[in-house]
Chains A and B, each alone.
Chain A
Amino acid sequence: DAGVIQSPRHEVTEMGQEVTLRCKPISGHNSLFWYRQTMMRGLELLIYFNNNVPIDDSGMPEDRFSAKMPNASFSTLKIQPSEPRDSAVYFCASSWRGPAAAFFGQGTRLTVV
């Protein structure tokens, strides 16, 4: 298995632009998580899907952030409009038995200038 696949690996965009991050979870996993990692705030859970349904989005910072999971093999995290404070590494993770056993992707490093 190739693991959790995220794209792009790096994204540089201008403030105000729309950014879409993509994730392909490990086949057979029924839970998917989006995390954000910054020096200031560490690792934060943004949203959690179970069986393609959003279960907990309380970590989504504001309405500019949205996430979808149209099927078991694909999820997106969208930021519109993007702001410099959104600059971070965004991780997608998947698991079949809860957050602690989650496998993380390699992350997308987002820079908003």
Chain B
Amino acid sequence: QQQVKQSPQSLIVQKGGISIINCAYENTAFDYFPWYQQFPGKGPALLIAIRPDVSEKKEGRFTISFNKSAKQFSLHIMDSQPGDSATYFCAASKESARQLTFGSGTQLTVLP
């Protein structure tokens, strides 16, 4: 019930391409869906987040698409750059709760 499933495990994209990472959740009580970016040797950093009352949120080249009925959400990185190469984690939580449930992570490599 607490699981968040993330795919793909790894992704290779050419510079300028679109990177798409997908997540699915089970617990319908979740009401906050953040994405984290993690570079090697660093801790995860909050990238962008969405609440289920909207279907899309965009910040620069990063967009979250949210499908409440399907219990799925995805991260789109437009015009992907080599500097975007990192591991991306989706997560879900109830804002009133203490615990974030993380996906398993996607290692993104953007080729120059």
Q: Smallest CB–CB gap between A75 and chain B, Å?
A: 15
Shortest beta-carbon distance from A41 to chain B in Å: 9
Please tell me which one of the listed residues A99, A101, A105 contacts residue B99 in the complex, with CB atoms under 8 A apart. Answer: A99
Q: Which of the four size classes fits the interface of chain B? A: 20 to 34
Interface centre among A45, A98, A105 (most CB of B within 10 A): A98
With contacts A99-B98, A100-B91, A100-B93 known, is A106 near B46, CB below 8 A? no
B100 touches A101 (CB 8 A): no
**A100-B34, A100-B93, A106-B43 are contacts. A45–B104 as well, Cβ < 8 Å?**
no
Residue among A59, A93, A102 having the largest count of chain B Cβ atoms under 10 Å:
A102
Question: Which of B42, B98, B105 is the one whose CB lies under 8 Å from A42?
Answer: B105
B44 touches A43 (CB 8 A): yes
Q: Are A100 and B99 in contact (CB-based, < 8 A)?
A: no
A91 CA / B41 CA spacing, docked (Å)? 11
Do the beta carbons of B43 and A107 come within 8 Å of each other? yes
Bound complex: CA of A104 vs CA of B104, how far in Å?
Answer: 17
Decide: B103 and A42 in contact? CB cutoff 8 A.
Answer: yes
Q: Give the size range of A's interface with the partner.
A: 20 to 34
The answer to whether B93 touches A93, judged by C-beta atoms less than 8 angstroms apart, is no
Whole-angstrom distance between the Cβ of B56 and the nearest chain A Cβ:
19
Could you say which of A42, A48, A107 contacts B102, with CB atoms under 8 Å apart?
Answer: A42
Q: Please measure, in the bound complex, the distance between the C-alpha atom of A55 and the C-alpha atom of B96, giving whole angstroms.
A: 13
Within 8 A of B (CB), among A62-93: 91, 93
B26 interface contact, C-beta 8 A: no
B52-79 contacts to A (CB < 8 Å): none
**1/0 contact trace for A43-61 toward B, CB 8 Å?**
1010010000001100100
Distance, CA A101 to CA B91, complexed state (A): 12
Task: Give 6 closest A-B pairs by Cβ, nearest first.
Answer: A104-B43, A43-B102, A99-B100, A48-B98, A56-B98, A100-B34
